Amino acid sequence: MNPLRVLITGGSRGIGRACALRFASEGASVGVCARNESDLLDLKNEGAPLPGSIEIEVADALDLTSLDQAVRNLDSRLGGTDVLINNVGGGGRWGEPSVLATDPFTWEEVMTKNFFSTVCASNAVLPGMRDRNFGRVLVISSRVGREADGRPWFVSAKAAQIAYVRSMARQEEFARNQVAFICIAPGATFTETSGWATLLKNEPETYRQFSESLPLGRLLTAQEIAEVSFLVSGSAGLALSGACIQIDGGEGIAI
């Protein structure tokens, strides 16, 4: 059986990095694009002893032409993509607390980095998935996309990702050719480069109080999100197509 071929956007840090290493540990051929070449090289070196392999490409998700080319390059080097993980995103703390004090350009950037990057990367690999009669498109959204308790530009972008998955799952062109679209909506997740890490460094007491207010008494880890990503990439993917799976350790209130 050929190794699973997995392509991850924004995969040099945090959840994307954890996903890359998780899949590579199971023997998958993994392609990762991100904007920081040094982080990508570190990831490639860390993955070298694993059963699978990791290919890398530099791309900035705010430049959709660059992202499209990187995804197509990785897709070619992998010999096709079985699982696309649209992980690149961010902007939850961009802008100002006041909506009116925030430049409209912030809305555009956050929407591009999260939603339009998802559409761009997906469009690059979907024809191949359809023609091979197999594909899994996983989108890493956020709990706030369902519950709207963040800054409006970020909430809007994450909600758009959820709507995209639901809508694409209904497209017969893909559904009848075994291509599934699944959304994962994590709650507060600690990574070394996240806003949570900055809060821990600058306001440790605020961070402690927030962590202890969560049902688990802590934030989730990138490895926990990667484990769920690994599970939904398999045969259960078709039944899950169109679903938004909220992974938050009981943090959220949406039913």
In a domain, 216, yes or no: no
In a domain, 67, yes or no: yes
Q: Which of 162, 159, 150, 164 is nearest to 251 (CA)?
A: 150
In a domain, 197, yes or no: no
Task: Kindly state the percentage of the chain with pLDDT values over 90.
Answer: 85
What is the value of pTM for the model shown?
A: 0.95
What beta strand segments (E) does 128-253 contain?
135-140, 179-186, 189-190, 220-221, 244-247
Stretch 191-195: mean pLDDT, rounded? 83
Q: Supply the CATH number for residue 171's domain.
A: 3.40.50.720
In a domain, 209, yes or no: no
Paired with 189 in beta bridges are 220
CA distance 5 to 213: 39
Stretch 79-97: mean pLDDT, rounded? 93
Three-state secondary-structure class, residue 9: strand
Least confident of 83-87, 111-115, 149-153, 178-182: 149-153
In a domain, 201, yes or no: no
Q: Which of 92, 83, 101 is nearest to 30 (CA)?
A: 83
Question: Which strands make up the sheet holding 179-186, listed edge to edge?
Answer: 53-58, 29-34, 5-9, 83-86, 135-140, 179-186, 244-247
What domain range is 242 assigned to?
5-190+221-247
Q: Are strands 135-140 and 244-247 parallel, antiparallel or unpaired?
A: unpaired
192 pLDDT tier (thresholds 50, 70, 90): confident
Residue with more model confidence, 133 or 229: 133
Least confident of 203-212, 218-227, 231-240, 241-250: 231-240
pLDDT at residue 141 tops 80: yes
When divided into structural domains, the chain yields a total of: 1
1 pLDDT tier (thresholds 50, 70, 90): low
In a domain, 200, yes or no: no
- Residue 101, burial from CB neighbour count under 10 angstroms (0-12, 13-18, 19+): exposed
DSSP state of 4: P
In a domain, 153, yes or no: yes
Stretch 16-41: mean pLDDT, rounded? 96
Torsion angle, alpha carbons of 164, 166, 167, 173, to 10? 110
pLDDT, tens digit, for every residue of 203-221? 999 999 999 999 999 999 9
In a domain, 213, yes or no: no
Residue with more model confidence, 149 or 176: 176
DSSP state of 115: I
197 pLDDT tier (thresholds 50, 70, 90): confident
Q: Which of 124, 114, 122 is nearest to 161 (CA)?
A: 114
pLDDT of residue 29: 97
Q: Which of 219, 181, 233 is nearest to 22 (CA)?
A: 233
230 pLDDT tier (thresholds 50, 70, 90): confident
Stretch 9-24: mean pLDDT, rounded? 95
